[in-house]
Amino acid sequence: MSLEMAVEMISAKEARSRWGLVPSAINRYRNNGKVDYMITFGGKHEPQYLYSAADLAAIVARMRIRGADLVIDGRAVFSVKQIAEFCSVHPGTVRLWCEEGVMPATRTRTAWAISRAQLDEFIAGRVGWKPKQLKDMGGK
């Protein structure tokens, strides 16, 4: 008698919506052997990778323990677009704030990323400025 365990396998898109993990990070974990995966082929015979949800959840948990500000309202960090909507300004304005150091932010390879702590620091420095409620951005 064999005992088989069902393992939930999810796509990179699903991992992004659940935990905010970007596909490039997931690929790095796959290439480093830190996450189990399987390959399926869709209608166009293009391979699609499916990843172990338990492995990805464990990676997210380890990042939280190390103190990374990883998951904010189900997302890794706030994007420039989200901050622009929150502050009621154009995304170009937020990018300029990040480039000039007005808004504390972290530069990734291709974009600016703003954590909740960085957003709080920015708001604290804006005396008399009243953006939307913080709970709209995953606040407490």
Quick: pLDDT tens for 66-123: 444 444 444 457 778 878 877 788 999 989 999 988 888 888 777 788 877 788 788 7
Q: So where are the chain's domains?
A: 9-65, 80-137
Three-class SS state of 62: helix
The Cα-based distances of 115 to 55, 69, 72, 74, 98 in angstroms read: 24, 6, 8, 12, 12
The Cα-based distances of 18 to 60, 72, 100, 128, 137 in angstroms read: 10, 11, 32, 35, 16
- Check if the beta carbon of residue 104 is closer than 8 Å to that of residue 94: no
Quick: pLDDT tens for 12-59: 888 888 877 778 778 888 888 888 888 888 777 778 889 988 888 887
Q: Is the pLDDT of residue 65 over 60?
A: no
Amino acid letter, 80: V
The continuous run of DSSP H or E covering 100 comes out as helix 91-100
Q: What is the pTM of this model?
A: 0.44
Amino acid letter, 113: A
